[in-house]
Structure 1
């Protein structure tokens, strides 16, 4: 158990650095575009290619963790991640920058798989919430300081030095090598064809969303049908048929995806709200949003302990209260001073962290031990996809605008669409709560009420 306590702390540090790497470059895309004479569409691949590989890699590494020792996989992943960072630091062309981001993503995508595996394998169910809370703290802290560090660094040196920060992740490798248990290789076949079809489905879907291509969307649908066929026909499919028949697991994934698609409105819409209505510059927008992430990071461990003591349903209901209040307040008070929006945003980010811990803990308990890697990897993948789809939908809604406010006292025409959308998202959380209660709370009560057999 001592190894688990050390590993979860090292994992938190790893998550800080890997999540920073995912977000830091968004700040400097305009500078990269100017340096290499690119179009907006071309430079966006710095972020798009990372997201594509990171999303697919998280589930592929999850599957590999079910067969290969975690010590070998984390070593390989972090070394590839560092190699990509070093290549980017020395890059003199956009092709090298893009290659560096590809290598970074290939290596870094082992981290979310490991972040799901360590709490499940190294902590019993009654202590797992605390472990998930610590990993959530690392993720929240990385998301909070990533844009700030990026802004400060490029104020003094060239943007290329952003590739130097992820190299710090190598300092965690000796700790993983020392404290991860020696595990024998599991002699089972991996369905690489099924894995490839799943990867193709995800990659084509994300490209269809980012590029707005119906052809790529049709290709994703075709790959999904082939993947479903492969699941039915393969003797040892990439995702076990027993896992896909587990109603509790599937409903858990569905609820997590719905929650993520709604909650992603906070980091996506809030900067636009502050820019369009409060007229804040990008630097000030970051300062308005950072306190929410910092509070989430501070509370992560405490919420994890709360899940262990009070149970996942209690934490979920707390998360619902925070997120519902956040979206409802944003709908009512769009146009308020930035400090008010920042406080409301803080409620939502804390609610997201509550929700992440409750759902991850709940889903992990429904997965057989030999399928933990791929099972939790599918959770990460579902979160990526729902977030990508949601941002596309939210963007189109904002572009379309709104003529009539649903909140009577809204008078700022630009605020109508934000206010109406936040109101819809608040109502969506009520629907998701009812679904959660029907699957997990009612099921729990029915089990408690079942007569004891003699």
Structure 2
């Protein structure tokens, strides 16, 4: 049964606006504590390893929650799940605001993540469930705008609050989404999913697997990876033996869906280099502080938020595959230029970053639209959840690899054809590798994904 008619057009518009605003707070909370970590560490006498868990604990739970809410949305009312998520997010923020103990701050971050992870899951589910294919791109454009704007203003707000007031007020800011609960409850319908038993053992095994894997990445200890491998074996056993497994094996038998996940993993890893590498790049090469780095990065992320709706319209008119080509082209322009700009004027860097931020947003929008076409209705919830989970895992892997590259330097494996200083050469080499990965993505996209989507859009959607 189609679900596009379950809520009115007016309610859909209001729903998208409120969802986009919620996503601003969700994405801000995921990133703005990075800027505050040095101040928090100094005030609470934390080691760098301890302070990193303020971010790592959030990202692990945030990743797990994206899948869990996607699965729960197949069984429970979406409005109830969003209500619970916002309450957890706000309560966790309140705990963090009044906390001066490291342990309580970690608990508050975990509670925040348990609640905030309902937003990225909803950002994928609501467009797929309530918007017809010819309007779905616009809806995904709105949600992408919210995520992009949160990323854009997160570092700036963090810098202002940390230096002018106190880092505790970063938690206070995250209490605001509680005012959105009445809007969600009045806009969403009362539809419930099928009455199926949830595979809690499968969910636990998936959670432990991901946690062990991310711990291995963040701590660089091999025994976490060995535990993760063992847990993967148990998870595969559970998927094969459970009557209603948490993740159905049929989902990965869908080759198009699997390829979309691979492409999104590559895009997430490449795209995360922008917020991760750029501040380090500006500090190491240009000696610019974190706050001013945020100001340099702001125009690109802000422009992406403004153009996200346009990207959605483009996907509706030309098809999501066309939007994907625009994104891949923008990625190439960004990273090929970043590979030679290192050590030169940073004013041009502001323009180049715009292409990268737009590419990341448009490619996610394109692939999310494709997923809504290649999956059955009953699979969209968990399918979209795994889609978002891929983002966090790939970003964590990319962070580790890029960090290791910077630490090791390029004294023996350098492509320093521009004769740059060593620090600039390190970043140039990384950007060259990212450029090659973009070319590989283009090849996979052209031969394995986009042709199918072009045909499907041409068949399903009316022409202008």
User: Could you tell me the TM-score, scaled by structure 1's length?
Assistant: 0.96
* Per-residue CA distance 1:352-380 (angstroms, 9 max, x = gap): 11111111111221111122111100000
1:117 maps onto 2:125 in alignment: yes
Counterpart among 155, 160, 167 of residue 147 in structure 1: 155
1-structure distance, mates of 2:162, 2:185: 34
**In the alignment, which of 446, 450, 463 is matched to residue 437 of structure 1?**
446
Is contact 1:141-1:294 (8 Å) kept?
yes
Distance 2:420 2:39 in 1: 37
Secondary structure of the residue that 1:187 maps to in structure 2?
Answer: coil
Deviations 1:181-211 (A, max 9, x none): 1113521011111111111111111111001
Structure 1 spans left out of the alignment, 5+ residues:
none
What is the alpha-carbon distance in structure 1 between the residues aligned to residue 222 and residue 99 of structure 2? Answer: 34
Q: Secondary structure at the match of 1:352?
A: helix
Q: What pairs up with 1:38-437 in 2 under 5 angstroms?
A: 38-403=46-411, 405-406=414-415, 408-437=417-446
Number of matched pairs: 450
Provide the C-alpha distance between the structure 1 equivalents of 2:393 and 2:163, rounded to a whole number of angstroms.
34
Q: Does 261-270 or 64-73 show the bigger shift?
A: 261-270
Contact map agreement 2:311 2:362 (CA 8 A) in 1: yes
Give how far 1:425 is off: 1.2
Tell me whether 1:36 sits opposite 2:44 in the alignment: yes
Once residues 423 and 157 of structure 1 are traced to their aligned partners in structure 2, the CA distance between those partners, rounded to angstroms, is 40
* 2:259–2:449 contact (8 Å) kept in structure 1: no
Partner Cα distance (2:176, 2:155) in 1 = 17
Kept in 2, the 8 Å contact 1:70–1:180? The answer is yes
What displacement does 1:445 show?
7.2
Deviations 1:103-128 (A, max 9, x none): 11111111111111111011011111
Summarize the Cα distance change of 1:253–1:291 in structure 2 as closer, same or farther, 3 Å threshold: same
When residues 366 and 99 of structure 1 are mapped into structure 2, their CA distance, relative to the original with a 3 A threshold, is: same
State the secondary structure of the residue aligned to 1:27.
Answer: helix
Residues 86 and 115 in structure 2, CA contact (< 8 A), matched pair in contact too? yes
Structure 2 unaligned regions, length at least 5: 1-8, 460-464
Find runs of 4+ consecutive structure 1 residues off by over 3 angstroms: 441-450
CA–CA distance in structure 2, aligned partners of residues 156 and 407 of structure 1: 41
Indicate conservation of the 8 Å contact 2:155/2:291, yes or no: no
RMSD (CA atoms) = 1.8
Secondary structure of the structure 2 residue equivalent to 1:365? helix
2:56 and 2:40 map into 1 onto residues whose CA distance is 14
Match of 2:3 in 1: none
CA contact (8 A) 1:253 1:363 kept: no
Q: After superposing the two structures, state which structure 1 stretch, 155-164 or 45-54, moved more.
A: 155-164
**CA separation of 1:50 and 1:427: change in aligned 2, threshold 3 A:** same
